[in-house]
Structure 1
Amino acid sequence: MIKLKKTYNLVPLLLKLILKDIKIYIVSLLIPCAISFLLYWVWSTIILNVVYSPQMFGFLSIGCLIVPFYLSILICEWKSTNFLKKIKSINLNQINFTVVMILINIIFSLISIIASTILAVSITSTIRSFPISYNLLFKDIDWYIWINFIFSSLLMSIVALLMFIVFTNFFRSKILNITVSIGVLTYIVFLSDVVIIPHITSKITSVSIIEYFNPIKYCVWIIYMITSYQFIDNYGIQQILSTNNISNLFISFNNILVPLLISLLIVGIFILIIKYRFIWGTKN
């Protein structure tokens, strides 16, 4: 009970510390909004004539990868000082700390989704040159799809955060760990079907297979299968792949339970690794 109270008290302490840093507003608001809208603009007006709702939702979730990346950089910074060791000294373990970071990650990831959605709706409703307005996501998509989209996006943010924490425990050097974080971010962004959409990757079987080694791919496909209604209508896969002719394309998943169960399994594995391999301090 005492440890639970200490864990609970750590949430406002870290939140207050993070909120004082202007970079968190850039990371959770400005950058995700800019990237998500840029992705929609590039795919809908330059590469394709139209993108479907799964990709539009995927673009809105990009902040769920950027926020965990920034938090992992903060953790690397804290490790290079005595800050994390002070947390450990009040009898909180690595799991307690990780749970707190997950809660903070969820808060800012949710803010990122909301901000990106508001911006996308505002701009695409005002500028007529876009083929599809984000307003259609509110008109044509049922409310329970939106709720499931948010939950699946937050699951993606949790997987991403745990992945960053795990991979920044390989070295006792802050610089090396930050470099690893940047490498992991690049990998999970470009090989997860969220930035380079399945319309392209499904045509290259080797790329689709390599993506199976990316934990984020499973979360992205949960989002796609929910927002395309593929989990109740098999024809939803045509929206995910942005074409009616899917005969020669590589389909990563046909059943939403597969990526969902794998994602939950990955969360469990990452938590176990953090429990036994977490490093509290590093060198600059």
Structure 2
Amino acid sequence: MRNSILNQKWKFYLRSRSSTFKRTLDFVFYYFLKFDKAWVFNILIPLSFSLLSIYAYVNYSQIFSVLPPQILAFVSFTSFFVPTFFSISLLEWRNSHLLKRMKFVDVKKNDIIISFIFVSFFFSFISIAIQYFFIWIEALSFSKIYNVFTNLVNIKYYIWFWYIFANLLIITLVFLLEIVLSSFSYSQAINIIIIIVLFIVLVLFSDILIWSFSSSRSKFLTYAGYLILTKYCVYLILLTSSYTFMDKNGIQQIILDNTYTRTYIFTYSIYLCIGVSIISIAALNFLSIKMFKWKGNE
């Protein structure tokens, strides 16, 4: 009898928690779906940035050829940009006391954090899909870009699953890391500066803006990368899209150094990349809940 009562209470708890999370997710999702800035910032800015940068690099780089691993990693810039937008949005919710009002209707910290991550997934993958469509349009107009895009199309289908998985890791890591570090101060201005500086550091040291065949020639960038959690996720993209996880010679698509004498190799192991990423996410999720603030002056 006692076990039956406990089971009923547990089932009721699960239903109520599921209901609370669903209401929170619905609210966050529809709020940003109707928020013009969310579309402008998360779609137009990454799209413009990627099209201009790819055009410039393909046409004016005289040293290296652009290969699929670099394109895939570069477009993942969106997975850094979008969660940064939403971490700043969560900061604004905190300072507008919206979060405090949500707390009064029994919304939990984890519900809010996971809802924001899910919405980041949604906007990131829409943005990435739109970028690849316009890269294709751009490729039809410029022969050099067309050659790059042709190589991209020839990637095996299972590599795209790895690509999606790695971007999910990046989005989650960036959002949680920014939320944790922006919880140390009560000042909104300071917290926004922290988030923006962190975003710049992550992008610069994760082989996104500084492409892998350039960063691998720098001892400083390579070894500093071991401290950058998101670099492990980006290297998961590079190692899988270059097929290095199947054949170590695939690393040449990442470093472009046949002699192995001018470069520093970050890692060959996808297991290291996955392990560090998942452990980091688990630790940051714990910290984000512990350090979560419902209002700016809490």
What is the Cα deviation at residue 11 of structure 1? 1.3
C-alpha distance in 2, partners of 1:154/1:38? 25
Residue 114 of structure 1 pairs with residue 115 of structure 2: no
Does the Cα contact within 8 Å between 1:72 and 1:165 map onto a contact in 2? yes
RMSD, matched Cα: 1.5
Residue 67 of structure 1 pairs with residue 67 of structure 2: no
What is the Cα deviation at residue 114 of structure 1? 0.4
What is the Cα deviation at residue 40 of structure 1? 2.0
What is the Cα deviation at residue 27 of structure 1? 2.2
2:243 is matched with which residue? 229
Where structure 2 has 5 or more consecutive residues not aligned to the other structure, the ranges are 1-14
Q: Deviations over 1:73-115 (max 9, x none)?
A: 1011001012111222222221121111111111111111101
Please give the secondary structure, in 1, of the residue aligned with 2:148.
coil
Residue of 128, 141, 148 corresponding to 2:162: 148
Does the Cα contact within 8 Å between 2:24 and 2:111 map onto a contact in 1? no
Q: Deviations over 1:148-202 (max 9, x none)?
A: 2112112111111111111111111111111111111111111111110121111
Where structure 1 has 5 or more consecutive residues not aligned to the other structure, the ranges are none
Correspondence 1:48-67 to 2 at 5 A = 48-67=63-82
Please give the secondary structure, in 2, of the residue aligned with 1:252.
coil
Correspondence 1:160-171 to 2 at 5 A = 160-171=174-185
2:141 is matched with which residue? 126
Q: Which moved more, 1:218-227 or 1:24-33?
A: 24-33
C-alpha distance in 1, partners of 2:250/2:51? 23
Does the Cα contact within 8 Å between 1:125 and 1:134 map onto a contact in 2? no
1:15 is matched with which residue? 29
- The one-letter amino acid of 1:79's match is R
1:6 is matched with which residue? 20
Provide runs of 4+ in structure 1 moved above 6 Å.
none
What is the Cα deviation at residue 131 of structure 1? 6.7
Does the Cα contact within 8 Å between 1:43 and 1:50 map onto a contact in 2? no
Residue of 89, 92, 95 corresponding to 1:77: 92
Residue of 24, 31, 39 corresponding to 2:45: 31
What is the Cα deviation at residue 49 of structure 1? 4.6
C-alpha distance in 2, partners of 1:122/1:135? 12
Give the TM-score taking structure 1 as reference length: 0.94
* Greater Rg by CA: 2
- The one-letter amino acid of 2:71's match is M
Residue of 182, 186, 193 corresponding to 2:207: 193
Please give the secondary structure, in 1, of the residue aligned with 2:248.
coil
C-alpha distance in 2, partners of 1:97/1:87? 9
Residue 240 of structure 1 pairs with residue 249 of structure 2: no
Residue 157 of structure 1 pairs with residue 171 of structure 2: yes
- The one-letter amino acid of 1:15's match is F
Q: Deviations over 1:1-44 (max 9, x none)?
A: 21221111111211111122211112221111122223322332
Q: Deviations over 1:130-155 (max 9, x none)?
A: 373313311x1111111221121121
**Structure with more helix by fraction:** 2
Q: Which moved more, 1:208-217 or 1:44-53?
A: 44-53
Give the TM-score taking structure 2 as reference length: 0.90
Does the Cα contact within 8 Å between 1:121 and 1:133 map onto a contact in 2? no
- The one-letter amino acid of 1:106's match is F
Give the length in aligned residue pairs: 282
2:117 is matched with which residue? 102
